[in-house]
Chain A
């Protein structure tokens, strides 16, 4: 239930993080706005709820929708989970081998994705997303709706 005062009503805002793309030499790479950006991160307010749990459920639903729509490899940064290749092998995705220094692994994942995207099931695709835990598109914040 929303708390109201003379100042206004407390609501829970679902916000989407702004994303950017760099595309140099045909190497497409997506990034999510973070606190490291100069001036701070940018977010787009999407929906406001009186109930925090409802806001969190909406956030979860929108996050899942974004993951269905977008390719996880586009968001692979320099630092990938150490055991990523082993975890993907466990769900039937083979032949991903990382070599050399960590900063090359994101590009190696993208190349692997290009080679295997056509044969991947929606479940496997979702499983790849599950491994990229640091990528998150939505958040819930508390704010005031002025009366």
Chain B
């Protein structure tokens, strides 16, 4: 538990655990976390965390996308979780007659929109294995800014990026230098793409040859709505909806902040 006020040389860091959206309201937890904010006091950090946690909880079906619900979500045995829900006016999912299994994913999908705010909070409370943000007291350290090249592959139809990150090119001490380098290299890359559009990929989509496949755009909130290409309300030459992005809407290089340890 973080102390209430930071010791000299430390601060309270809020990190977002690495969740990304799959299909619909199915989110998947991946290894790692990202620092999103830091505060002088634990109270400030905790207040920020609670707000962000609530936003994530509003978007996510906690039972979806895992192998063994509800064990993946709670340390309570399944019957105890059922009793907890009943105590809070919520009917747990019924067990299938043959297998005795309960479909927690569908149950949440169908029932949770009907719950009151208090019931929803009560349903989340025992799910101690599903967390989206955390606070930790950490030493204040200098940071560096990595320029990372996004790796784009091709699947015979669209270009698609690596799920996150890419290949580190250079580490800079200032954000301004890293951002300037990324802007320069993105501009170069987009100019090259402008010359090849029409010769590659799925022709009816024109310049929109890039599918994100769930990769987050820089600064995108993973619990918010999916980004849409500027041409999303138009159709391609074959009359299909445009869901892919143009070169000026996707990154070829990004800046990622990293903590430095032991470096003056």
The 8 A CB mask of A65-101 against B (1 = contact, 0 = none) is 0100111011000000000000000000000000000
Pairwise interchain contact A19-B65, C-beta atoms closer than 8 A = no
The 8 A CB mask of A24-45 against B (1 = contact, 0 = none) is 0000101001000111111111
Is B124 at the interface (CB under 8 A from chain A)?
Answer: no
Pairwise interchain contact B168-A110, C-beta atoms closer than 8 A = no
Contacts of B256 in A (CB 8 A): 44-45
Tell me the chain A residues, 109-147 only, with Cβ under 8 Å from chain B. 110, 113-114, 117-118, 137-138, 141, 143-147
In the assembled complex, the Cα of A46 lies from the Cα of B148 at a distance in Å of 12
In the assembled complex, the Cα of A146 lies from the Cα of B195 at a distance in Å of 33
Pairwise interchain contact B168-A18, C-beta atoms closer than 8 A = no
Q: A37-B162, A66-B31, A118-B77 are in contact. Are A42 and B151 (CB under 8 A)?
A: yes
Partner of B144, one of A20, A43, A113, A145: A145
In the assembled complex, the Cα of A110 lies from the Cα of B30 at a distance in Å of 18
Pairwise interchain contact B162-A13, C-beta atoms closer than 8 A = no
- A: contact size bracket: 35 or more
| Chain A residues with a Cβ under 8 A of chain B | 2, 8-9, 11, 13, 15-21, 23, 28, 30, 33, 37-51, 54, 58, 62, 66, 69-71, 73-74, 110, 113-114, 117-118, 137-138, 141, 143-147
10 further A-B pairs in the complex, CB-CB below 8 A; given A15-B165, A45-B165, A137-B32: A11-B171, A17-B31, A18-B165, A37-B153, A40-B167, A43-B165, A48-B144, A49-B263, A71-B68, A146-B177
| Chain B residues with a Cβ under 8 A of chain A | 17, 22-23, 26, 28-32, 65-68, 71-72, 77-78, 144, 146, 148, 150-154, 161-168, 170-173, 177, 256, 258-264
